[in-house]
Structure 1
Amino acid sequence: MKQVSFEDIYTLGKIVTENDLYRHFHYSEMLVRYDSNFIEFKKLPTLSEFKPVEKYLREYHQKNGQKHVKFYFPANQKPTAELNAYLTDKGYEIGFIELFAILPKDFPALMNNPDIQIEAVTEKNLELYLTLQYKHDLEYGSEFAKQKKDLIKRQFKELHILQILAYYKGNPAGYVDIIISSKTAEIDNLAVDEEFRNKGIGSRLQKFAMETFPEKTVILIADGEDTPKEMYKKQNYQYCGFKYGVQKVY
């Protein structure tokens, strides 16, 4: 398997500031998307280094009407005890993500289930795809769901993003985005509607990615504290590292 790192993960957003300490990502088209509007540290900051960067991002976001700040720390490094204590005291949510990778040939074989159909999103089924995602995105508020709908329409035109829709007995049931690069195919935005869970739809969506890009390394990000990562391990994904992140909503 080709060696992969968090540098291989696609980031939706533009770098507006970069120096020896950090990169600042900003996505003006969707200011409420936290994972597109954040600072990523290149090296683990001391508390005295973190505070002015925190102030800078807060002020930058305030000018744009944004009510959050988010920071990622370097891969495979935990915040220092001093920094962690400060973040906790200031009310930050602290968590970590994990990177997994697999060669398509190593993904388990699946029994055929005629009740599940998988197809790429086209003009014909785009509205079904949008409707299902809008339903799920309402969990984060109507404004987020509306802006996400516009984002999906923009990404529909992107050649490096393949949008996939799953059906169960003819009903839209789940979806995934596959982000294509020269050496990887990244599984992103994988979701199955609550009504259709535990039927093998998530595995079938992944299998579609494996079959579509058999020569690439398939990668994905999992929340370090959520249970889906246990499923990925059972499916033969290899653990490739972690990254701590913190965010605060004002």
Structure 2
Amino acid sequence: MKPDILFDESHCAECACGEGLDFAFTFAFQPIVDVLNKTVFAYEALVRGPEGEGALSILSKVNERNRYTFDQICRVKAVKLASRLGMSTRLSINFMPNAVYQAEYCIRTTLAAARTYNFDTSKIIFELTEDEDLTSVDHLASIIEAYQEMGFSTAIDDFGAGYSRYNIMIASPPDLLKLDMALVRNIHQEPNKQAVVSGIITMMTQLGGKIVAEGVETVEEYFWLRSQGINLYQGYLFARPGFECLPEPVFPT
């Protein structure tokens, strides 16, 4: 981690209480499991309304005016809640590249929150949603590189949905790549999907990263993916998201 990054505890406190937003939100957590060791690899923080309303009810309120504030508050609130729940695994937080104008500056509140709530920053994963309307690949690559230099892990979510960011994989490969659930669904029955996923596995192996199969719902999907050497999974087959709690996964036998 770079030692010269300044902390702003007062700004962190403002973000923690949601100052600057006219709507409240919280999180559900869904485990990403390591089936090789039968452990929880990480919990992904999923935005929810204060009464458990779905993510869309919150994300539909995010706009150009409040995007930066929302992104910053998401990070702080996720770290705070994870700490309160006693999370000892990694924590995966979604981030908005268009809300990050300079990675070293925009990370300050996250670092301050981690220090305030005694959460190990080496256990934080920053997860990019692939179909984010990026300003440029160079901008995203600079964010990924800066976060990795600071000791965070990075991930690309929903890989294979919409616009495939192979140019990002060339410019600055993330540590984790999450297969989109559309690729995973019924993959045991669809040779074309199998060919695509096999290619992605080869790519990530050569790049030194790991694959997470997300949206896994059936044992048939799981067994085919497992036969390809994938060890990390997320989906209803293992556990549904838990509202402000850390659900224990079930492992297929």
* TM class, shorter-length: 0.3 to 0.5
Return the TM-score normalized by structure 2: 0.32
Q: Kindly name which structure, 1 or 2, has the bigger radius of gyration based on alpha carbons.
A: 1
Return the TM-score normalized by structure 1: 0.32
